[in-house]
């Protein structure tokens, strides 16, 4: 009888513990999901004009970009 | 002969002068660094999960993969290039012969020359509020950006695609959404881990290093994951609107 009661107690305790763990996991998943949805709602549209103080490209790289621009303009 | 020891030096300065000078220098140093941000944390801090958890971004990656074979074919054979890829072909074949930093610099300038085009917006049902609101537009693929241009997050993602094409590892690249304390708007840059440093590729042609920025990092993404930087830095953004 004692063994039976002990086994029943173990089962109940295990079930309660498992349920709590599942609940925590669910809350965590929901938090992450909501956070990601909120992040994706951020409107990112800032426009920054070219900074004249920024380092200039080396001439050979400028030449590549000029070629590329010519090809794209010819499209 | 009597020798008198004095704390005065021959030019009249005292220890108090030195302390005062040090304080002034420290104040000046603090003033010059007051606007500096924290270096971008290129590590696993704030990891939220797989990139697939962000539906719009994940869908964009899917379209990018679907469109990639056309550029592959173009790079292999110029005759198979659609006209809008001819310039890109020239760019990538030329860049392939450069060293890493010059590749980064070339790609940054190439993308920044492209036409700025504000996102179109869509009405959607938000899963949180259940009410329609103006939703940010989708991210652009490389082909979409080359053909139509884009706005700042598209500039950052296009640099990402091009550097991936040039052999940079996914783990060394992240598109970072930031709060710009100067313009009071959200902004996106590409973070590149290169040669032991983190470089932030800007849409104004600058390449920022370390803490030389005024950003508060909000989140980052790449093909593999999403990182949330909120809570790891100081002031909260004042509002969540565009610049």
Q: What is the pLDDT along chain A (75 residues), one digit of tens a residue?
A: 788 888 888 777 766 666 555 555 555 566 888 888 888 888 887 777 777 777 789 999 999 999 999 999 887
- Window A:8-67, CB contacts with B under 8 Å: 32-51, 53-55, 57-58, 61, 64-65, 67
Q: Number of folded domains in chain A? A: 1
The pLDDT profile of chain B, 243 residues, written as one tens digit per residue, is: 444 444 444 455 566 565 665 655 555 444 444 446 788 999 989 999 999 999 889 999 999 999 999 999 999 999 999 999 999 999 999 999 999 999 999 999 999 998 877 755 544 444 444 444 444 557 899 999 999 888 888 999 999 999 999 999 999 999 999 998 888 888 999 999 999 999 999 989 999 997 777 889 999 999 999 999 986 655 444 333 332
Question: Looking at the domain assignment, is residue A66 inside a domain?
Answer: no
d(CA A55, CA A4): 80
Is residue A71 assigned to a domain?
Answer: no
Contact A64, B106 (CB under 8 A): yes
Return the pLDDT at B12: 54
The enclosing H or E element of B215 equals strand B215-221
> What is the least distance, in Å, from the CA of B25 to any CA of chain A?
27
Q: What is the pLDDT of residue B223?
A: 96
B136/A44 touch (CB, cutoff 8 Å), yes or no:
yes
Candidates B86, B90, B242; nearest CB to A43: B242
SS3 B114: coil
∠ CA B199-B203-B205, rounded to 5°: 70
State the pairing for strand pair B47-50/B122-125.
unpaired
A59 within some domain: no
| Per-residue exposure over B137-171, b if at least 16 CB sit within 10 Å of its own CB, e if not | bbbbbbbbbbeebbbbbbbbbbbbbbbbbbebeee
Residue A22 lies inside a defined structural domain of this protein: yes
pLDDT at A68: 96
CATH 3.20.20.80, applies to B38-228: no
Asked if the interface predicted TM-score (ipTM) of this complex is over 0.90, the answer is no
Range of the domain at A7: 1-44
The verdict on residue A75 lying in a domain is no
Distance from the Cα of A27 to chain B's closest Cα (Å) equals 14
Chains A–B, number of C-beta pairs less than 8 Å apart: 140
**For residue A47, which residues of chain B lie inside 8 Å, CB to CB?**
116, 118, 151-152, 203, 243
DSSP count for chain A of H helices, then E strands: 2, 0
Asked if residue A63 is part of any domain, the answer here is no
């Amino acid at each position: 009888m004692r063994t039976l009661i002990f086994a029943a107690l173990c089962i109940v305790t295990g079930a309660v513990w498992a349920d709590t763990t599942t609940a925590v996991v669910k809350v965590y998943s929901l938090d992450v999901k909501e956070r990601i949805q909120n992040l994706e709602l951020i409107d990112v549209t800032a426009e920054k004009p070219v900074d004249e103080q920024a380092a200039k490209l080396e001439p050979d790289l400028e030449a590549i970009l000029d070629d590329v621009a010519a090809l794209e303009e010819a499209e | 002969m009597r020798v008198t020891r004095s704390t005065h030096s021959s030019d009249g300065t005292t220890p108090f002068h030195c302390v005062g000078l040090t304080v002034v220098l420290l104040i000046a140093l603090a003033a010059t660094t007051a606007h500096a941000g924290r270096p971008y944390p290129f590590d696993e801090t704030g990891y939220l999960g797989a990139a697939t958890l962000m539906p719009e971004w994940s869908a964009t990656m899917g379209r990018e993969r679907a469109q990639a074979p056309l550029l592959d074919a173009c790079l292999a054979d110029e005759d198979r290039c659609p006209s809008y890829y001819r310039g890109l072909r020239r760019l990538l074949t030329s860049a392939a012969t450069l060293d890493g930093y010059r590749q980064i610099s070339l790609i940054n300038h190439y993308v920044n020359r492209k036409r700025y085009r504000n996102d179109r917006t869509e009405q959607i049902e938000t899963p949180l509020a259940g009410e329609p609101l103006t939703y940010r537009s989708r991210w652009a693929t490389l082909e979409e950006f080359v053909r139509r241009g884009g706005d700042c997050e598209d500039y950052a993602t296009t640099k990402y695609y091009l550097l991936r094409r040039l052999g940079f590892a996914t783990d060394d690249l992240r598109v970072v959404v930031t709060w710009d304390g100067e313009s009071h708007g959200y902004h996106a840059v590409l973070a590149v881990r290169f040669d032991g440093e983190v470089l932030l590729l800007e849409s104004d042609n600058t390449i920022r290093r370390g803490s030389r920025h005024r950003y508060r990092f909000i989140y980052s993404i790449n093909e593999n994951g999403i990182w949330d930087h909120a809570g790891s830095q100081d002031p909260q953004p004042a509002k969540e609107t565009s610049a």
